[in-house]
Structure 1
C-alpha cells in the first residue's frame, strides 16, 4: 500500500511493452527532425496575434522562456517514457508511481488539455479558412455572427457562433469514428508544407524593405511580468504560447525506438526545441519588424486582454484594421501587408491543409486517454466499446468530438490555448514528480534513457511549470481547480468504487482495439 493510495504494479504495465519491443532505428539527428515536425505548426500559425497583444515585441522573449521550460520538462518525460513505453501517457506513468488518486487527476487534466487544444486549433483553422479560402480566393465574406463566438467570450463584434471551427471539429470526429487515420506519407508532406511556408515567411519578412528596427521600441510595453492573473507581459505571453511547443512529448515517447538513447535522446529533444525556439523568434521578429507589433492599449496604459470584448471593438475600428494583433490569420496577413499577397495566400492554404491533421491527432490522443481510463474502470466501461464494423471506440470519440466542437464554436483561440496549457502544465508537473518518485521507489529498474542531474532538472521542471501556470490569465488559473473539483466528485462518487485495481485486477491495454491482459493482484485499496 503506497502513501499515495493504490499503485498499479509497474511490472504488469511493462509486460505489454515487452511483448511489443520496437526495433531501435532512430539516430539523434533523425530524432531531432522528427521533433521539429511534431512541434512546429499550430501555435505559431494561430497564436502569434494573441501573444503579441500580451507582450508586444517581447513575444520573442516569451518564446525563449517557454522553450526553456519545455527543455527541462522534455528530459523528465524522456526518462519515464523510455522506461514505461505504453499507452496512457502521463496518466499511466502516475498510476505506476504516485497511485490511482493522483493518476486520476492527471488523466482528468489530460482530458482538459487535449480536448480544449483541439478546439483551439479548430478556431485557428477557421481564421485561415475564412480569411484565405473564402475571402481571398472565393471573394466570400462570412458574416461576423457566423465566424466568431459570442462577443462576451471574445471574437468579432456581433459574433454568435464560429461555424467553420465547429464544422471542422465535427468532420475530423466523423473521420476518426469510421477509422480513417493519417498515413505517415501524408503527415510527412504536411510537415514539409508547414516548414517550407514558415521558412519562406522568415526570409521574406527579414529581408523586406518594410523591416524597421524602430518597430521593436518599446520592446516590453507591458513589462516582463504583467501581474498575477493578467496573462500580460513577456511571461504571460510565454504561458500562452507554450501551446506552440505542445508536441515535444511525442519526441520523448520515441525514446524506445532510438539507438543509444542515453546520447541521442537529449540531442534530439534539446536540438529540436532549440531549433524551434530560434525559428519561432525569427518568425516573431519578421512579423513585428515589418508591420509592427505593439499591443492595443487601454485607457489605463495596460493592453486590452487578448480575445476580449474591448479588443474586438478596437480591432473593428479603421485605425487598427491592419494591426497584427487583430488578425485571425496573422502570418498570411503580414505577407499581404508587405506586398506578397500571393505567397501570403499560399501560407494561408498551408495552414488550411495542415491544421486538420493536428486536430485529428489531438482528438485521437484524447480518446486514447478516455479509453485507457475506461478500461481501468475509472470511467464507465461502455466508453471503451469498440464498434463492430469500424473497429474504433466510437462512443468516446463522438463524445470528445462534440465537446471539441462546442468549445470551438463559442470560445476565442487565445483563451482556449490558455485553458489547454493549464492542463498540460499540470500533466508535465506530475511527470517530473513521477521521475523523482520512481528513482526512489524503483531505482534498479532498467532505464534506456537515464537523465543526468535528475535532482536539479526535475525540480526545475516543477518550478517552471508552476511559474508559467501562475502567469496565465485568471480565467485559466481558475479553470484547472474548477475542472479538478468536478473530477474529484466523479472519482469519489463513481470511479474509486469501480476501479479494477481496487477490485484486485490489473488490466493493461496498449492499443485502442488491442489486447487486454488481466492480472489478479492483492490490494489493500
Structure 2
C-alpha cells in the first residue's frame, strides 16, 4: 500500500533526540526570526506587484492573505508544539497521512523556500541598484535584471514582438548578478552556524522595523482620499481566471509575504523549550507583521496612488512580465512620473515623490541591509526540510551530513544556494513569488488536514498548544489555501503539478526503496553510523 507508511510521532521524536540539532533559540529569538523572514518580502519587494494586480484594493488583499495565514498558523502552532523537530509540514504529514504525501509536502516546501529565497534576493538587488544609482555608481543594465532575456525567450516561443517587448529587449538585462552574489553570501553565513545567523538577524530586524516606522510616520500625514479611487480597478477577482488580477489575485501573491512564520516552525528542533516557545514565536511574529503591512501599504497608496498600468489599448499587464517592463520604461521615457506599480523599490520611490529623498535613500539602505535576513530565513527553512528528508532516507544520506566544526547541514545548504542563485539570476521577482506560493499553499493545506486527523487518531497525546475551534479553523485554512491557489496566474498554477510530477518520479525510482520507515529503521538508532549527531 503506497499510503501505508506512517512514521509514528514517538519514532519522529526519538530520531530527533538521537541526531538532533543544537537547541539554542529562545522565544524572543524565534519571534525575531519570524519577523525577519516575514517583514520585508511583501512590503519592500511585492508592494508594486500587488498594486498592479489590485490597485488600492491591495489593502483587502493583505487582510485576506493575513487571515488565511492566521488560521494556518494556529494549526501549525499545535503541531509544532506536539512535534518539536525539524521538517515543518513534512514531518507533520509523515506522522498523519503517511510517507507518500509527506514526500510531496517536503518536495513542495523545497519549491517554497528555495524559490522564495530567490525572489527576495531579486528584490534586494533592485534596492541595491537604486541605492548605487543615487551615489553615481550604476550597475550595467545587462547585469541588474533579466528583462531582455525573458523578452527574447517570449519572442522565440512565438510571442508577437510588440512595442513593449521591443523596449524590454532594448533597455533590459540578461542576468541579475547582485542577486546571485547575495545568495552566495547568505549560503556562507548559514554554513557557519545557526546561532551566529540568529544574532545577525536580530540586528537586521531592528533596522528594518525602524525604516518602516519612519516610512509610516512620513506618509500617513499626507494621505489623500482621492488616491484610493478607484478602490477596486479589477474587482475582487475570479479564482478560475488565468489572469491572476483583482483582490484575490493580489492576495495569492501577497501570501508569499507571510510565509516566514512557517520557517519558525522548521526551527523547532533548535529551540529551547519548544512546546512553549514555538507557538509564541509563530503567533507573535504574524501579528506584528500584519500590523506593519497594513500601515505601510496605506501610506504608499495614500501618498501617491496605486493605479495599475495597462497596455496601449487598455488591456491587463502581468506584473513582472517583459511587456510590463517595456511599458514602464516607455512611461518614464515620456517624462511622466514613474507609477508606483512600475517601481522596483516602491517605498523609496514614494518618499522621493513626497519630497523626502534623503529619507527615501535611508529606507533603501535599510532594505539593502535587512532583506538578506529574509533570504537567510528562506534558505534556513529549506535546508532544514531537506536535512530532515535526508535523515529519513528519502534523499541521499550525504545531504544530511553535519559539518565537523560548525555543526550545520553544510552540504544541503550549498546545494540549495546554487539552485536559488540560478533562479534569481534569470527570473523576475513576481513570478518567483507566485511559483513559491504554489508549494506553500499545498503544504499549509496538508498541515490543516493533519491537525484534524490527529485529533481523531491520537486524542490523548499531550498538546501544549491546542488550536481553538479546530473544526472551524482548520477547514477555513484548507478552503483559504485552495482559493488562493486557484487565484494564482495560470503559469504558477501549473508549476505545482509539474514540480510534483518530478517529485513522484524521484520518490518511486529512488526514495521509496531507501526509506528508513520502509526498511524498518524508524526508531532513530539504525542510521547513526551514516549520519553523525548534530548536537555539541
TM-score normalised over the length of structure 2: 0.87
1:272 Cα offset (Å)? 4.7
Aligned residues: 508
1:135-146 equivalent positions in 2, closer than 5 A: 135-137=133-135, 139-146=136-143
**CA offset digits 1:401-451 (Å, max 9, x no partner):** 111001100000011011111111111111111111111111111111112
For the 8 Å contact 1:265–1:449, the answer to whether it is kept is no
Q: 1:362 to 1:278 in 2, by over 3 A?
A: closer
Distance in structure 1 (CA, Å) of the matches to 2:402 and 2:24: 29
1:14 Cα offset (Å)? 2.1
Aligned with residue 282 of structure 1, among 295, 306, 324: 295
1:381 Cα offset (Å)? 1.7
1:425 aligns to what SS in structure 2? helix
C-alpha root-mean-square deviation of aligned residues, in Å? 3.1
Aligned to 1:61: 60
1:33 Cα offset (Å)? 7.3
For the 8 Å contact 2:305–2:340, the answer to whether it is kept is yes
**CA offset digits 1:37-72 (Å, max 9, x no partner):** 553222211000111111110111100100010110
1:385 Cα offset (Å)? 3.0
Distance in structure 2 (CA, Å) of the matches to 1:306 and 1:245: 20
Aligned with residue 329 of structure 2, among 306, 316, 322: 316
**CA offset digits 1:13-47 (Å, max 9, x no partner):** 123567889899859xx987775455322221100
1:500 aligns to what SS in structure 2? coil
Distance in structure 2 (CA, Å) of the matches to 1:153 and 1:427: 30
Q: 1:89 to 1:221 in 2, by over 3 A?
A: same
Aligned to 2:189: 175
Answering whether residue 505 of structure 2 is matched by residue 489 of structure 1, we say yes
1:76 Cα offset (Å)? 0.4
For the 8 Å contact 2:37–2:378, the answer to whether it is kept is no
1:371 Cα offset (Å)? 1.7
Q: Which moved more, 1:76-85 or 1:14-23?
A: 14-23
1:499 Cα offset (Å)? 1.1
Aligned to 2:7: 8
Q: Which moved more, 1:369-378 or 1:300-309?
A: 300-309
Q: 1:214 to 1:76 in 2, by over 3 A?
A: same
Distance in structure 1 (CA, Å) of the matches to 2:226 and 2:368: 33
Q: 1:258 to 1:339 in 2, by over 3 A?
A: farther
For the 8 Å contact 2:16–2:524, the answer to whether it is kept is no
Unaligned runs of 5+ in 1: 518-525
1:142 Cα offset (Å)? 1.9
For the 8 Å contact 1:152–1:308, the answer to whether it is kept is no
1:223-242 equivalent positions in 2, closer than 5 A: 223-226=235-238, 228-242=241-255
Distance in structure 1 (CA, Å) of the matches to 2:278 and 2:511: 37
Aligned to 1:382: 398
Answering whether residue 219 of structure 2 is matched by residue 221 of structure 1, we say no
Distance in structure 1 (CA, Å) of the matches to 2:503 and 2:32: 38
Aligned to 2:175: 161
Distance in structure 2 (CA, Å) of the matches to 1:383 and 1:25: 27
For the 8 Å contact 1:57–1:220, the answer to whether it is kept is yes
Answering whether residue 436 of structure 2 is matched by residue 437 of structure 1, we say no
Answering whether residue 518 of structure 2 is matched by residue 467 of structure 1, we say no
TM-score normalised over the length of structure 1: 0.89
Distance in structure 2 (CA, Å) of the matches to 1:384 and 1:270: 30
**CA offset digits 1:88-124 (Å, max 9, x no partner):** 1111111111111000001100110110011001101
For the 8 Å contact 2:41–2:374, the answer to whether it is kept is yes
1:201 aligns to what SS in structure 2? helix
1:273 Cα offset (Å)? 3.3
Aligned to 2:105: 106
Unaligned runs of 5+ in 2: 152-167
Distance in structure 2 (CA, Å) of the matches to 1:497 and 1:267: 39
Aligned with residue 350 of structure 2, among 329, 334, 343: 334
Aligned with residue 320 of structure 2, among 273, 296, 307: 307
Q: 1:226 to 1:49 in 2, by over 3 A?
A: farther
Distance in structure 1 (CA, Å) of the matches to 2:108 and 2:413: 18
